[in-house]
């Protein structure tokens, strides 16, 4: 059996298919490795703030938030809050995020004034996405069963416990503006 496979492989027509198979496999491994490296690079804080629109606006707000500096020394970066950990949802989010790059190139949000004019729309889109996933990204770090309500302020503890009991709200319903300033509703 092994001899038949060996002889088949060394026939001229089979060698061509074998070469295609081997080179295809190598190309696949190289592509997958490159894709993985690119995916990891776009998960960095440096990548997220590489556009001046982000660096000059939301990054400055984030640096004043509890997600940037806190007593425990745990820091959440952009992708911790704005991107799922699971591969499938992460890939979908990356594709949707390319819209931000498109609008940067297009010039829709390339100045602080233009960004501020769209801030409410952008924030609303993020909030709706978080509601649809039941604040999945928040819950990847913050577990209800790990919360010590006795270490929270009296009002916060009461509100959190009520929200968990009722179950109709998700994190973003109460915690908008936790890392970025709240936008002004242009319709208000």
Tracing tokens 């820091």 back to the chain, one arrives at 75
DSSP tag of 145: G
Which token pair is 68?
């940037």
Per-residue pLDDT of the chain (188 residues; tens, 9 = 90+): 787 776 766 676 666 677 778 888 899 899 888 888 888 888 899 998 887 778 888 899 999 999 999 888 989 999 999 999 998 999 898 888 888 778 878 888 888 888 889 899 999 999 999 999 999 999 999 988 898 999 989 998 899 899 888 888 899 999 998 899 999 888 87
What is the pLDDT, as a whole number, of residue 63?
Answer: 93
Q: Are 137 and 80 spatial neighbours (Cβ–Cβ below 8 Å)?
A: yes
């Amino acid at each position: 059996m092994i001899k038949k496979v060996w002889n088949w492989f060394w026939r001229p027509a089979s060698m061509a298919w074998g070469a295609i198979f081997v080179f295809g496999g190598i190309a696949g491994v190289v592509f997958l490795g490159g894709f993985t490296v690119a995916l990891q690079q776009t998960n960095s804080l440096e990548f997220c703030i590489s556009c001046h629109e982000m660096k000059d606006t939301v990054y400055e707000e984030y640096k004043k938030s509890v997600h940037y500096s806190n007593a425990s020394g745990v820091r959440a970066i952009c992708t911790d809050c704005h991107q799922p950990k699971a591969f499938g949802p992460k890939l979908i989010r990356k594709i949707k995020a390319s819209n931000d790059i498109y609008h940067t190139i297009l010039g829709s949000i390339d100045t602080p004034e233009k960004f501020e004019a769209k801030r409410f729309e952008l924030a609303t889109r993020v909030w709706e996405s978080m509601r649809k996933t039941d604040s999945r990204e928040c819950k990847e770090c913050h577990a209800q069963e790990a919360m010590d309500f006795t270490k929270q302020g009296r009002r916060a503890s009461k509100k959190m416990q009520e929200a968990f009991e009722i179950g109709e709200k998700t994190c973003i319903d109460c915690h908008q503006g936790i890392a970025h300033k709240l936008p002004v509703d242009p319709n208000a």
